[in-house]
Chain A
Amino acid sequence: SQTIHQWPATLVQPVGSPLSLECTVEGTSNPNLYWYRQAAGRGLQLLFYSVGIGQISSEVPQNLSASRPQDRQFILSSKKLLLSDSGFYLCAWSVLQDTQYFGPGTRLTVL
C-alpha cells in the first residue's frame, strides 16, 4: 500500500532563517507531487507541483522553492523565512488527475 511521510511534524524558526521540509512517498512510482500551504482556518493554497524528477511548476511567486531530487522525494525550501511563511504545509501525491493523497503535514511557526 502507498504511504506518504512528511517531516518534521512541527517547526519553529526565526525570521530570516532557512527552511527545508521533506516529503517521501512509498508504494507507487512516478507520482505527481504537490506542496500546499494552509493558513489557520483557511483553504488549501497550491505552492508547487511536479510531474517528474527535476520538473517543478510554481503556482505562487514568493521566497519558497521546491525540488524533486528523486522520483518519490519532494523538498520545500527557503533561504530566508518571512513571518508570512507561517502555516500548515501539506505534501500530496496523485496518479494522473485522480485522488490526491495528503501527508500528515508540517506546522511551521516563524517568529
Chain B
Amino acid sequence: QQQVKQSPQSLIVQKGGISIINCAYENTAFDYFPWYQQFPGKGPALLIAIRPDVSEKKEGRFTISFNKSAKQFSLHIMDSQPGDSATYFCAASMAGGFKTIFGAGTRLFVKA
C-alpha cells in the first residue's frame, strides 16, 4: 500500500516528441506528488509537483496530469529535447509523514 508503481522503466523519444511517464499509487492518504529529475552523477532535483486538489499542473514544457479516482498521475514532457535525457522519479508523501515514497525511476533518452 506504500508503493508507487512507475512505468515505463526506460523510454526513447525523438527530439520534438512527447515523453509520457506514468505512476500509480494505492494509499489514498498521499497528498503531495512530486516529480524529480536526475542527471548522471548528480542528486535528484525537484522538477514539478502537484497536490490532489487540482487535476493538472503545467510549468513550461512539463505537465503533471492527476487522476484522483484512478489513483494515477503522469508526467508529460512536450517538445522533448536531448537535454531532457535523464532519469525521472515520481514520488508521493502525506501530511504528518516523514518519508517520501519514490517510484523505481524511468530512464529517458531523447534522440537528436
Contact = CB atoms under 8 A, between A and B. Distances in A.
Q: Is the interface of B mostly helix, strand, loop or mixed?
A: loop
Given A43-B103, A43-B104, A46-B99, A97 B94 contact: yes
Nearest to A107: B41
B49 A104 contact: no
B89 A98 contact: no
Interface residue range, chain A: 20 to 34
A98 B98 contact: no
Contact of B43 (A32, A51, A105): A105
A7 interface: no
Interface residue range, chain B: 20 to 34
Interface string A60-91: 00000000000000000000000000000010
User: Which one of B41, B91, B107 has the greatest number of beta carbons of chain A within 10 Å?
Assistant: B41
Contacts of A99: 34, 46, 49
B44 A102 contact: yes
A94 interface: yes
